[in-house]
Amino acid sequence: MLERPSIRLPVGVRDFLPRAAARRRALAEAVLGEFERWGYDRIITPAFEYADVLARGLGDDARATAIRFVEPATGEVVALRPDITPQVARLAATRLSDVGGPIRLCYEGSVLRLMPGARGQKELIQAGVELLDAPSPEGDAEVIALAAAALNAAGIDDVIIDVGHVALARDALAGVVDAAARSELRALIGKKDEDAVAKAARALGLPAAKRKILEALPSLWGEPAETLARARLLSLSAAARTALVDLERALAIAGEVGSERFTVDLGEVRGFDYYTGLRFSAYVPGVGEAVIRGGRYDDLVARFGRPARATGFAIDIEAVAQGQKAAGVAAPAVAPGALVVAVDVPRERAFQVARGLRAAGVRVATDLGARRGDEDVRAYARGVGVSVAVLMSGRGARALDAASNIAAQPLPQALIARAEAGDGHALAEALGLAPGPVRRHPNTRKTSRSR
């Protein structure tokens, strides 16, 4: 007996079988379709780039996640993209440098990241948008509202958008000269450890006003109006107060477009070195992590040679697929189709009938084997996901239902002849496969929403 080879995948990547692939493909098309309805143009960027070019748009943490290798043709170091946003920034600064803003771009594709420790790497499927040369808060409001609309288009209506701004934390931490102490404080703020933040702030001997802001950050989260009111009681800089005004205005504008539930977290320090203003995350039931992350990054495009304001977000398609399942959104149904079998007639006739049915809009496979028995055909038809088989023989054509044990039923020869001549509409109708009116996929259904 031959020994079965060890066949495996690298850590962090996976296959998707037809039904799972159909869900993710439909999901991606649903959100991309929503992006396009909002005026965003779809682009495609390469899976890898020269490492030094890609690194321009990546922060220190993201640079560490990039997988690098030597390009055989040139000997130069290239990197698999760990994020698509820097590629969009490069494209906007170079090939679209003469286009006036606002520029609206959207994308979908895989990214691959090295994970900390010994966890290998992780492949993610992302879809996202980038809005370039749009002012704040209007541009921020647009992408927040679009993020919610994209999730609604994917069939998820219970969405919470958590919004923050880097200004308060950045202003408070600016007085901490020691880099290690600043990093420790950021970590404590991120953990919402109020006591530890207060103790660390006192140990640093910071001015009372700065210390009070740092001590308040872990608890500055919750319902927007109440959280912003508490923040305004602090001794904030003019820039921080302007940030609160912009955040409040962005929420008001976004609320006019949709009716999502918003929360505010002014102590969120994720992306502290990357984002320059408002940042947000979207959460849905059944998923432990954010399914969307985004915000304003006005410094990024300039790294590629063109100063430009920018804001956007990325959707984790796999996480949204989990959210769909939790929300009861069914995977797309496989379109009913036919299997055409040449029993004892030339196979070319089966090809002609299949061509006629395809012209009528029917999904059709032809059997390339030597199947004879009805049960053999029925089992194969079920295995490849078609609902009916057309058995062609010298005694005439028959229709065999793949899901039942009903005997094959004769088909009028006139219908077969018309299909062989290229017109399969009548045969499709007789088989119950005539395409009906276009129906919305459940992933794009419209439903009512509430705050």
Reply yes or no on whether the pLDDT at 438 is more than 60: no
- Of 272, 303, 326, which residue constitutes the final position of a domain? 326
- Of 281, 307, 326, which residue constitutes the final position of a domain? 326
Among 68-77, 186-195, 370-379, which stretch is predicted with the lowest mean pLDDT? Answer: 370-379
110 and 253 both lie in a single domain: yes
Q: What is the CA radius of gyration of the chain?
A: 28
In terms of Cα–Cα distance, which of 430, 378, 376, 366 is closest to 404?
A: 378
Provide the domain limits for residue 293: 18-326
CA dist., res. 305 & res. 339, Å (int): 56
144 and 98 both lie in a single domain: yes
Which tens digits make up the pLDDT trace of 108-131?
999 999 887 656 788 999 999 999
**What pLDDT shows up at residue 440?**
37
CA dist., res. 263 & res. 272, Å (int): 19
CA dist., res. 449 & res. 451, Å (int): 7
**What pLDDT shows up at residue 271?**
76
290 and 414 both lie in a single domain: no
Domain with residue 305: its CATH number is 3.30.930.10
CA dist., res. 154 & res. 110, Å (int): 19
Q: Are strands 292-296 and 409-410 parallel, antiparallel or unpaired?
A: unpaired
**What pLDDT shows up at residue 85?**
94
Give the mean pLDDT of 184-203. Answer: 88
SS3 category, 34: helix
The residues near 446 (Cβ < 8 Å, ≥ 6 apart) are 440
Which tens digits make up the pLDDT trace of 152-178?
999 999 999 999 999 998 888 887 888
116 and 217 both lie in a single domain: yes
321 and 349 both lie in a single domain: no
- Of 260, 295, 326, which residue constitutes the final position of a domain? 326
CA dist., res. 275 & res. 140, Å (int): 12
